[in-house]
Amino acid sequence: MAENKIKPIINTILSSAGITINGSNPWDIKVYDDRLYQRILIDHSLGLGEAYMDGWWDCQQLDIFFHRILSHNVSPNIKINRTVLLEIIKFKLFNKQNKTRAKQVAARHYDLGNDLFKHMLGKHMAYSCGYWKSAKNIDQAQEAKFDLICKKLQLKPGMSILDVGCGWGSLSKFAAEKYKVKVTGVTISKKQSEFGRSLCQGSAVNIKIQDYRDIQEKYDRIVSVGMFEHVGFKNYNTYMKVIERCLKDDGLFLLHTIGANNLGSGIDIWIDKYIFPNGMIPSSIHVIKNIENRFIIEDWHNFGADYDKTLMAWQSNFENNWDKIRNNYDNTFYRMWKFYLSSCAAMFRARNLQLWQIVLSKKGVPGGYISIR
């Protein structure tokens, strides 16, 4: 189909969301290559993202553009092609998060460079949703999230804590120093572990490079923040077995994870290819199915709207600090990263994605669990 026949189709679809091609609003797109229309029609969101990286189109306010598309349910108007469908089938048929493949996300994302994440995430180096209830900036929001987690876990001095997917160690350090607990953090990222060990030097924190499947020791409390998204549905049962094995009978487990609204919405092909290889967002059914007969749900807290604020703060930091790190990355990376942060912010703003903190116990908290907000 020629570009001049496809353009009216794409124009009609975008118009339904109040978006004008080459319009004057900050959410309108500027098209520099008419091949864009066919690329969108053929490759859906993957084509849209790759075309942006290639400079075929631009938009002043990407986050508003994406929010309009998502909130007006534009995507279903474009049929998924065979290539995209095949990638989704691969997720269902193969274990893309086995021990060998699990290391890919560390190599291709978390080990991109601590300079990038230092200048994007803020002083706490926390790569997960902040808690903005009373916070005025990203650093306050991350510290509030740390404290919220510690209070939900009912930490007491001397307790042993397992931090599964500890990142750069900021939560581990916070818990150890403020709540006087002993923390073991595990990560599969070499650069995260190096940074975390330096950050936590002098604290009661031990950070190890280790796959979660190999953990054997028992702990009073277990926490996992922003890691479950890399586990994959074929490994959820194994993951929960590990948590059950390692949690003491009177312990608490807090799972902090992005959540999908339904079983079929947890995979994004562009995100999988360029940002988080082998990633998969769990649905509530995924979680419930794999905790049944193992844990009691004590609390389920959704503050997904806070991830919009978090991602927009990261994007602001990234753009404001780009000149400090641009020598280590190219312009294609810059555009890719903007697309990533803006599109994800819009997903949470449109409430297409959620952020859950789920507190679980093995036998139930005697007298009942008191929810913290």
Active site residues: 344
Cβ of 296: how many Cβ atoms within 10 Å? 13
Kind of pairing between the strands at 160-164 and 219-225? parallel
Cβ of 144: how many Cβ atoms within 10 Å? 17
Does residue 339 sit in helix, strand or coil?
A: helix
Distances (CA, A) of 221 to 93, 184, 257, 359: 34, 11, 17, 11
How many helices (H) and strands (E) would you count in the chain? 15, 9
Contact (Cβ atoms closer than 8 angstroms) between residue 48 and residue 29: no
Q: List, in order, residues 6 or more apart from 372 with CB less than 8 Å away.
A: 148, 151, 152, 299
Query: CA 235, 241, 244: angle at the middle one, nearest 5?
Result: 145
Contact (Cβ atoms closer than 8 angstroms) between residue 329 and residue 258: no
Query: Where do we find the tokens 């092609």?
Result: 81
Q: Please give the helix or strand (H or E) that residue 172 lies within, else none.
A: helix 170-179
Distances (CA, A) of 39 to 2, 3, 6, 48, 333: 11, 10, 10, 7, 20
Q: List, in order, residues 6 or more apart from 70 with CB less than 8 Å away.
A: 346, 347, 349, 350, 352
Structure tokens at 146: 């740390």
> Residue 75's closest CA among 29, 126, 40, 124?
40
- Rounded Cα gap, residues 346 and 258, in angstroms: 14
> Residue 254's closest CA among 297, 228, 224, 217?
224
- Tell me the chain's radius of gyration from C-alpha atoms: 21
